[in-house]
Amino acid sequence: MRPMLMASLLLPLAFWPGGSALAQSSGGAGTSSQANAELFYMIQQLQSEVRRLQGNVEEQRHQIDRLTRQSRDRYIDLDQRILQLSADVAGLRQPASEPAGQDGSEGENAPVEQREYRQPTAEERKDYAAIQTLIREEKKFNEAINGIYDFIDKYDEGDLTVNAYYWLGEVYLAESQLEQAKQAFTIVATRYADHRKAPDAVYKLGVTLDRQGETEEAVRRMETVVRNYPDSNAAALAKKYLDGKRG
């Protein structure tokens, strides 16, 4: 790209007075030397300008990356706020004669209504596989995060959408972005509590809370995994965690 740019910039020099002097065989050695000096000077100026423009482009790229990260964080934070608002509204609608927890079970421990998730298309599977490659094989976590957000925006809510939210949490956790990981896992644990990824999401939410120093809340989440998903692999891991804490 750069050689082509330089070529396009230097081509008009042939029509400059200095350039024409080079083409005139009748010119003396002094004229030719002066033309070469002018040409060299102009090349240096052009190279300097190219470097300056490249610096501007790089700076703008960093600004775009920063704005993209901020936008992503606001996106998932808004999603989490909507979930919390929905839970608050549901609590307000509950009959006064049956307050939450009166029957001895918390809202999050109540039986979850099973639903049927939309199955992915071939194109959707291909895009999801590309994200998995970025995460598992190439370890390009920033690209994976961008890919997950694009995936969630592109496809209607379905089975792989839940997986995408879960892996968003996993990538944020791997990058030690704990608050973002907490929000992503909470989306799966709360909105998709009947999905196959829910046990893992609740467990990883507990892990994230533990890393944030919220030990009591982490323990509560682990107990929820054991109680609500007793036959899952996540329940076995949650028991190990609880045994370690009770020591």
CATH of the domain at 200: 1.25.40.10
Q: What is the pLDDT of residue 43?
A: 85
Residues 126 and 242 in one domain: yes
Residues 155 and 39 in one domain: no
Residues 58 and 145 in one domain: no
CA distance linking residue 98 with residue 77, whole number of Å:
31
Average pLDDT over residues 84-93: 45
Instruction: Tally the domains of the chain.
Output: 2
Residues 58 and 138 in one domain: no
Q: What is the pTM of this model?
A: 0.61
Least confident among 110-119, 120-129, 137-146: 110-119
**What residue numbers bound the domain in which 63 lies?**
2-21+30-72
Residues 169 and 53 in one domain: no
Residues 133 and 56 in one domain: no
CA distance linking residue 30 with residue 189, whole number of Å:
81
pLDDT at 202 over 80: yes
% of the chain beyond a pLDDT of 70 = 67
Phi and psi, residue 199, nearest 5°:
-55, -45
Least confident among 44-48, 91-95, 123-127: 91-95
Least confident among 61-65, 144-148, 191-195, 209-213: 61-65
Closest by Cα among 170, 194, 182 to 221: 182
Indicate whether 135 belongs to any domain.
yes
Give tens-digit pLDDT for 20-32. Answer: 444 444 455 667 7
Q: What is the pLDDT of residue 119?
A: 95
Closest by Cα among 203, 197, 195 to 224: 203
Residues 142 and 59 in one domain: no
Least confident among 20-24, 82-86, 207-211, 232-236: 20-24
Least confident among 75-84, 163-172, 223-232: 75-84
Greater pLDDT, 188 or 45: 188
Residues 36 and 145 in one domain: no
Give tens-digit pLDDT for 161-170. Answer: 999 999 999 9
Indicate whether 170 belongs to any domain.
yes
Residues 125 and 202 in one domain: yes
Residues 50 and 133 in one domain: no
Closest by Cα among 189, 205, 190, 195 to 241: 205
Indicate whether 97 belongs to any domain.
no
Indicate whether 63 belongs to any domain.
yes
